[in-house]
Structure 1
Amino acid sequence: MPLDLTLPTPLAYFSALVQQDESLPLLEAAASLAQDETPDLDVQQVLDQVDRLIARLRRRMTPDADPVERLRAVNQLFFSDLGFAGNVNDYYNPDNSYLDVVLHTRRGIPISLAVLWLELAQSVGLQVEGVGFPGHFLVQAQIEDGRVVIDPFSGQSLGRPELRERLEQFHLDPELAQSDATLSKFLRPTPPRQILARMLRNLQDIHRTQQDWARLVLVQDRLVTLLPAAWPEYRERGLALAELGDVERARADLSVYVREAVEAADHDAMAERLSALGGSGG
């Protein structure tokens, strides 16, 4: 039997990466998101760029460096020497979510910067996690009996006062915001699958706002692959497909949503939309 040497589609490649939570390679899966914009992107080249940064970081460190020294070295390289920072001038540019571009420009949004920072920190043995904090994504390192929380957008280390102030900014009751239990709740680690979902939903928001339905469908394909029981993602894809005139696929997605999301507030409205497209559900 002849070998099949055809390359997988970007979606098939992504699907293979995200099959199992235990072995999900966050950096590789996150880098692959850019293949929707640049189908011939060589993800391995992106991983090689990060490996070179890791080698540069390790050369700065003695084998017996303690966690505080290792964290300081990561931050010095990432934020100071390489100059990674938030793209304050063009925050809603989709390129801020594509790791190949972020590595080139050294500008991104909190979650794309976090993915790169996490890879560097993990490579030198630090216990680090991403945190889906209200407002924007943070990272944290477990150091001895405590933790250091860092804003990857600015490189700022955030203590309890700054974190509580951020919670209050997002309309959390001031008394609740001052609670250690509340703060601990919002500092729970975000697993890789949810980090990818958050990256994709950032792109979703941008493409929906710009009414770029074709790009939105590509994002929704990934979200449905990543979270096959997240019924609102089928609705989003179905509505985008309807805008593109792909009625058959739109009906299929809206049928799934109407059938599965029976308690949703917009269930009846989506059932009507489905009917208008010539479909039925229930």
Structure 2
Amino acid sequence: MSVLQRPNARVEDAAILLAKEANALLDEHAMRRSLDALGAEALIRRGLRSNPERDGRILAELLFDELGFEGERDDYYNPYNSYLDKVMIRRRGIPISLSVLTMAVGERAGMDIEGVGFPGHFLVRVGGSDGVYQDPFHRGELLDGHGLRRLAAEFLGAEMALHPSYLEPVDCLTITIRMLANLKNAHRRQGDYARAMLACDHLVELTQAPEHRRDRGLLAHALRTYGAASEDLAAYLEARPDAKDAHIVSEALAEARQQADLVLH
């Protein structure tokens, strides 16, 4: 994804690229103009002087109270919840897509806003290391220590402590990888293996992780592109010979090779 190598690349750039891959008719310029307009409104409300808590409340009032953006609970795994253009139209999303929207608007308003890769539930931080944490999925709720511990108990288990690393900001590449993983899983759940495989292609390119090659190989197997499946599954087994799923992957590899031979003959 060359967009991530551009100087000053923003996470919205990757999100828009993924949306364009899924929708060739998407008007990128109109989408950015909409974000610009939201950012301009937030800037007007912010004025010349502000603080992190006030910035967070401005974003919450504008995006969630007035415009009605909110977390999608009834159809959480719908891929539309992961595409920024669909989120902006439907005003529904998952934590990371709503966070990307919030970041895009906040940045345009001159706010110091970052994505936070909280396990299982993406957040944003407004105002730097001394700022406030905000939960776009829950209508922009500002989270104090109690709220953060509640999230940790919900997503990690009551016995797990709130580790400081959970609250650290993450870079554009890390956010993009997490968005792609969500897309891969969402499309795979719907049986759309071709779109899931496209997300896997990006994940392999960005991470070179053997696990993503395994997933891409299994998707290629499901799509009956057995040559590509064989290459990826073999690469995974070479890199992870002692993996717990090595036996299952070996069976899939053997079948892919057999089917590829039949095609060649």
TM-score range (shorter-chain normalised) is 0.7 to 0.9
List gaps (5 residues or longer) in structure 1.
1-14
Alignment of 1:78-157 (within 5 A): 78-142=63-127, 146-154=130-138, 155-157=140-142
Q: CA deviation at 1:251?
A: 1.5
Query: 1:196 aligns to what?
Result: 176
Counterpart residue type for residue 244 of structure 1: L
Query: 2:199 aligns to what?
Result: 219
Contact 2:56–2:142 (CA under 8 A) maintained in structure 1: no
Distance in 2 (alpha carbons) for counterparts of 1:90 and 1:172: 24
Which one has the bigger helix percentage?
2
The answer to whether residue 146 in structure 2 is matched with residue 166 in structure 1 is no
List gaps (5 residues or longer) in structure 2.
259-265
The answer to whether residue 15 in structure 2 is matched with residue 30 in structure 1 is yes
Aligned pairs, number: 257
Distance in 2 (alpha carbons) for counterparts of 1:57 and 1:129: 16
Q: Aligned to 1:153, what secondary structure does the other structure show?
A: helix
Q: 1:244 to 1:24 in 2, by over 3 A?
A: same
Query: 2:223 aligns to what?
Result: 244
> Which residue of 211, 232, 248 corresponds with 1:232?
211
Contact 2:19–2:83 (CA under 8 A) maintained in structure 1: yes
How does the TM-score come out when normalised to structure 1? 0.82
Kindly, what percent of the aligned residue pairs are identical? 37
Distance in 1 (alpha carbons) for counterparts of 2:156 and 2:10: 35
> Which residue of 25, 38, 48 corresponds with 1:63?
48
Q: CA deviation at 1:166?
A: 2.2
Contact 2:52–2:126 (CA under 8 A) maintained in structure 1: no
Counterpart residue type for residue 167 of structure 1: A
Contact 1:87–1:109 (CA under 8 A) maintained in structure 2: yes
Q: CA deviation at 1:268?
A: 4.4
Contact 2:69–2:92 (CA under 8 A) maintained in structure 1: yes
Distance in 2 (alpha carbons) for counterparts of 1:244 and 1:250: 9
Distance in 1 (alpha carbons) for counterparts of 2:213 and 2:28: 27
Q: 1:252 to 1:120 in 2, by over 3 A?
A: same
Q: Per-residue displacement from partner, 1:249-279 (whole Å, max 9, x unpaired)? A: 1112223222333443323442343233228
Distance in 2 (alpha carbons) for counterparts of 1:220 and 1:172: 29
The answer to whether residue 5 in structure 2 is matched with residue 16 in structure 1 is no
Query: 1:5 aligns to what?
Result: none
Counterpart residue type for residue 149 of structure 1: Y
> Which residue of 217, 242, 254 corresponds with 1:275?
254
Bigger mean CA offset, 40-49 vs 150-159? 40-49
Q: Per-residue displacement from partner, 1:6-35 (whole Å, max 9, x unpaired)? A: xxxxxxxxx221236x64321011122123
Contact 1:138–1:149 (CA under 8 A) maintained in structure 2: yes
